[in-house]
Amino acid sequence: MSTFHIIDGNIATPKGFKATGIYSGIKKVEKHDLGLILSEVPAEAAGVYTTNLFQAAPLVVTKESIEKQGKLQAIIVNSGNANACTGDRGIEDARAMQRGVAEAFAVSPEFVGVASTGVIGEFLPMDKVSSGMKQLPPVLSEESGPLFSQAILTTDLVEKTLCVELELDGQKVTIAGTAKGSGMIHPNMATMLGFIVTDAKVEQAYLQEALRKATDETFNMITVDGDTSTNDMVVVMANGMAGNSALNSEHVQADDFYQALAYVMKELAKKIARDGEGATKLLEVEVKGSPSEEIARQVAKTVISSNLVKTAIYGADANWGRILCAVGYSGAAIQPQLVDVFLGEIQVVKASFPVPFSEEEARDYLLQENVKVVIDLHDGEAAATAWGCDLTYDYIKINASYRS
């Protein structure tokens, strides 16, 4: 039974947080491109990062701060320029962003996280960034959180935000998250930035543990196009201002907090998958009856990543052979003679052989905005779910001219 509930809110809703976003001139079009989250007090912080070996300068700087201090008080984010593959100058520019926020808001530079997203291989226009940071203090508030969510977008079509509330130790606790991501999205983090803040008091070690576990179940189970970027990170800040006793793995309500955190992350992940570049549908692949969760994840990820599956979903073609084929090349140790496949409630494969079904009913189902594929391995009790989207002509149009 859920111990939390969704509320209207934004990234600045939890107690002690403010946020905003402005247009600084980094982007060629006049859209918000510089955003800030600020906590009244230093917050326990945790982060997970892209597995790409080419890690962007802001990621390097943020990771260093969290690993050394275990705390953040602010996060500055720009869109329109990734500050990736920019060498020593890129690192210095990221540190200059730390110093700029520190000076503007009287916080320690090492308590400032930095994130960037956009075109790779171009230097940040630091004159515009510096000027923009000076504009942030007067417009920072608890009400301007949605402007932050706008400022982190690139090819995204919609903002992605969620806020939940629960009670811990008799105190009201709020968890809010916002994310960006539309292209270069693949399991193990992709061109995706996620920011989650909470007024719960959480021990840093447990916060990192919870974030890592929830990431494996959520953000690492989505794909849009199979590309893993240089800049992806998810950062959580917990400032403790709700007044609950510190959460750790032994706390009686630790699982209540974890379930709420994981829910926020799952819903943000699904929003990213649905907003895939050119996408028309959200695709969900559930694998059950697996001998282990690891195998279930491996199969689900493989199917959700298959371009042939994704194009069939776009064309509303009940081509179950592509699904079964992806299961087979997933590399997972499955029993190939036992697999069932369903499109929604419509069974198309039983014990790895086709069964009669109405092509018309299947097509009608696949024409819906939300499509679910269920794969039953009949070889255990474990399960996992992955999310993605269809692959359309518009994806090529968007990415053929991204730099222009």
**Which residues belong to the active site?**
191
Are the beta carbons of 236 and 193 closer than 8 angstroms? no
Residue 167 structure tokens? 């009670």
**Is residue 372 exposed (0-12), middle (13-18) or buried (19+ Cβ within 10 Å)?**
middle
Tell me, letter by letter, the H, E, C secondary structure of 17-54: EEEEEECCCCCCCCCCCEEEEEEEEEEEEEEEECCCCC
Residue 85 structure tokens? 């593959």
Among 94, 97, 116, 117, CA closest to 105:
97
Are the beta carbons of 162 and 149 closer than 8 angstroms? no
Q: Show Cβ contacts of residue 106 under 8 Å, excluding neighbours closer than 6 positions.
A: none
Question: For residue 367, what are the CA distances in angstroms to 82, 183, 356, 381?
Answer: 36, 23, 20, 31
Count Cβ atoms below 10 Å from residue 208 Cβ, excluding itself. 20
Q: Show Cβ contacts of residue 117 under 8 Å, excluding neighbours closer than 6 positions.
A: 77, 78, 79, 80, 82, 152, 154, 180, 191, 193, 231
Residue 221 structure tokens? 């189970």
